[in-house]
Amino acid sequence: VRTVATIADVRAAVRAARQGGAKIGFVPTMGALHEGHLTLIDRALAAADFVVASVFVNPLQFGPNEDFERYPRDLQGDGAKLASRGTRLLFAPSRDEIYPAEQRITVQPGPADSEWEGAIRPGHFAGVLTVVAKLFNIVSPDVAVFGQKDLQQVTLIDEMIRELNMPIALIVSPTARDRDGLALSSRNAYLSRDERQNASRLYGALRKVQSLYEAGERSTQTLEEAGRGALEGVPGMSVDYFAVVRRDDLVRTESADDASAAIAAVQMGRTRLIDNILLGDGSA
Ligand code: PAF
């Protein structure tokens, strides 16, 4: 895959592709790519002709005690994986290319930032939206693909695109999972063998809530208690939150319907895992 590090080179490559009539697809990532990222590339390729991926570990979205320094990095491996799935351009900028000076203007998320990940990681989503807005302005894609795994991130990016009138179609791609159901994440690399074995209990709890919903249970409280109950006693795991919310704004309601989702975050040893599952088909 052609790899470029400067904004000028990305713009020139995208301009040339567009002049040739190509529709531009974009998949922003922080690297350490796994099959989950590659399914985002596949989705982009299905919707566009020329797919650009970026690899940039964005310092603005990490809190002072988070894992910015130890976040896994493997640019060479990433390039090979992207090439194998038909990516045309990899943008891998330095920190200075994206933030040549202090970033004084940032994108402040809407109210959907106030709970869940946003409450536990203050400033995280302002960091995400700011870098995504900058990357959108650099790449100027027609379509951008993000994973459903980060449901709150997707919700806030969707709001940013709409409220700031960005001419970009957002595609949300279903969560890619390991054979035992654990959602693929670059941070899974931090898990010890025992932690990895028990981590899939999170998906088990979400599935349990989904099957209760499918069996007719609608009480948010009952569904949440069942989810939390399924995680009780899992060695090394503590639950940050387990909630049933409306999927489009992440607000908790008293009863669930076909537009709800169960969302959860747990601490597994030193590793934080998040996941979610949709209840119903989104039609409510
Ligand atoms: O989801 C991620 O990997 C990051 O939050 C993103 C969207 C690439 C922004 O840094």
Q: What is the pLDDT along the chain (284 residues), one digit of tens a residue?
A: 999 999 999 999 999 999 999 999 999 999 999 999 999 999 999 999 999 999 999 999 999 999 999 999 999 999 999 999 999 999 999 999 999 999 999 999 999 999 999 999 999 999 999 999 999 999 999 999 999 999 999 999 999 999 999 999 999 999 999 999 999 999 999 999 999 999 999 999 999 999 999 999 999 999 999 999 999 999 999 999 999 999 999 999 999 999 999 999 999 999 999 999 999 887 77
Q: From 70, 88, 90, 77, select the one nearest 29 (Cα to Cα).
A: 90
Q: How much distance in Å is there from the Cα of 30 to the middle of ligand 1?
A: 6
What atom of ligand 1 comes closest to residue 54's alpha carbon? 8
Q: How much distance in Å is there from the Cα of 146 to the middle of ligand 1?
A: 8
Mutate which of 37, 58, 138, 168 for ligand 1? The one with the most ligand atoms within 8 Å of its CB, which is 58
Cα angle for residues 245, 260, 160 (degrees, 5° grid): 70
Ligand 1 pocket list (CB less than 6 A): 28-30, 58, 61, 128, 131-132, 150, 153
For the residues of 112-157, what is the DSSP string, one character each?
A: GGSSTHHHHSTTHHHHHHHHHHHHHHHH--SEEEEETTSHHHHHHH
- Output the residue whose Cα is nearest ligand 1's atom 5: 128
CA dihedral over 243, 261, 158, 152, signed as positive or negative: positive
Query: What's the whole-model pTM score?
Result: 0.97
- Output the residue whose Cα is nearest ligand 1's atom 2: 29
Q: How much distance in Å is there from the Cα of 223 to the middle of ligand 1?
A: 30
Q: How much distance in Å is there from the Cα of 214 to the middle of ligand 1?
A: 32
- Output the residue whose Cα is nearest ligand 1's atom 1: 29
37 labelled catalytic: yes
Choosing from 1, 14, 26, 37, which is the catalytic residue? Answer: 37
State the pLDDT at residue 283: 76
State the pLDDT at residue 148: 98
State the pLDDT at residue 281: 86
State the pLDDT at residue 54: 99
Mutate which of 90, 121, 131, 148 for ligand 1? The one with the most ligand atoms within 8 Å of its CB, which is 131
Phi-psi region of 154 (alpha: psi -120 to 50; beta: other; left: phi over 0): alpha
State the pLDDT at residue 277: 98
Q: How much distance in Å is there from the Cα of 260 to the middle of ligand 1?
A: 24
Mutate which of 150, 151, 186 for ligand 1? The one with the most ligand atoms within 8 Å of its CB, which is 150
- Residues 28, 135: contact at Cβ < 8 Å? yes
State the pLDDT at residue 102: 97
